[in-house]
């Protein structure tokens, strides 16, 4: 995946699906490859064309995995509702879509606000839909300001204690998460799912 070798990725995925590999595990492995693609983009080792190609490979191969995910979702008890989105200032959605897919297959209802989402839209979800978990995604470091703005608004309106906030994407790391005063940083999609499962319980 990291080398963008489309045919090899498809062959491996199809083989593992035929061997009844858990589709969530397949997506987890694909997401590790996509993360490397994002890292290389940030380091200017890859350019926009490679980033788009990586996203296209994942989105196309998702159609191969989707039936197995649907079957898994049908057998999974609904655990709760999560709102996710790529924060204002960023339009990248590969990582967000991976997390969304895994959350849904793990039994969560997911409301996806899309990309370039202003802080007010997240706040509205907390106010009007009684959402307990916000998932914020960003690839570009400029989007960190948007997360700070969101948290300030939540505090000002006395809503911060009503919601857990998890962040993920190349713009973030553990230190940034600590400085932003969010509840968790997910370095990969499965970490995000485990955090959500722990909180919903």
Predicted confidence (pLDDT) per residue in 135-155, tens digit = 999 988 888 999 999 999 999
Query: Would you say 113 and 90 are in contact if contact means Cβ atoms under 8 Å apart?
Result: no
Say what the pLDDT of residue 74 is.
67
**Which residues does 151 contact at the CB level (< 8 Å), separation at least 6?**
160, 165, 180, 181, 182
Domains parsed from the chain with CATH numbers: 1-75 (1.10.1240), 77-201 (3.40.50.280)
SS3 string of 55-89? Answer: HHHHHHHHHHHHHHHHHHHHCCCCCEEEEEEEECC
Residue 6's pLDDT band (boundaries 50, 70, 90)?
Answer: very high
Q: How far apart are CA 67 and CA 47, in angstroms?
A: 32
- The tokens describing 73, both together, are 């979702």
Residue 201's pLDDT band (boundaries 50, 70, 90)?
Answer: low
Residue with token string 């839209």: 121
The DSSP call for residue 90 is -
- Per-position DSSP letters for 108-169, written without gaps between them: EEEEE--SSB-HHHHHHHHHHS---EEEEE-SSGGGHHHHHHHHHHHHHTT-GGG-EEEEES
Query: Would you say 85 and 57 are in contact if contact means Cβ atoms under 8 Å apart?
Result: no
Angle, helices 144-156/119-128, rounded to nearest 10 degrees: 40
Say what the pLDDT of residue 173 is.
84
**Which residues does 35 contact at the CB level (< 8 Å), separation at least 6?**
95, 170, 188
Average pLDDT, stretch 177-200?
85
Query: Would you say 75 and 131 are in contact if contact means Cβ atoms under 8 Å apart?
Result: no
Residue with token string 């924060």: 87
**What percent of the chain stands above pLDDT 70?**
99
Query: Would you say 132 and 195 are in contact if contact means Cβ atoms under 8 Å apart?
Result: no
pLDDT in tens, 58-89: 888 988 898 888 787 766 777 788 999 999 99
């Amino acid at each position: 995946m990291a080398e963008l070798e489309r045919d090899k990725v498809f062959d491996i995925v199809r083989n593992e699906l035929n061997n009844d590999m858990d589709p969530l595990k397949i997506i987890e492995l694909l997401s590790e490859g996509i993360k490397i693609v994002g890292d290389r983009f940030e380091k200017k080792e890859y350019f926009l064309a490679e980033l788009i190609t990586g996203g296209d490979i994942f989105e196309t191969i998702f159609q191969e995995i989707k039936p197995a995910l649907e079957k898994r979702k049908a057998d999974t008890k609904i655990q709760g509702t999560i709102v996710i989105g790529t924060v204002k200032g960023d339009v990248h959605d590969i990582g967000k879509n991976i997390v969304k897919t895994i959350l849904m297959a793990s039994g969560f209802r997911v409301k996806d606000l899309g990309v370039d989402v202003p802080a007010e839209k997240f706040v509205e979800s907390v106010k009007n839909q009684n959402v307990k978990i916000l998932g914020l995604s960003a690839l570009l470091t400029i989007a960190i300001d948007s997360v700070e703005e969101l948290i300030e608004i939540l505090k000002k309106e006395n809503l911060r204690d009503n919601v857990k906030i998890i962040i993920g994407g190349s713009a973030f790391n553990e230190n940034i998460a600590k400085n932003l005063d969010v509840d968790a940083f997910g370095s990969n999609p499965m970490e995000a799912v485990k955090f959500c499962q722990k909180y919903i319980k």
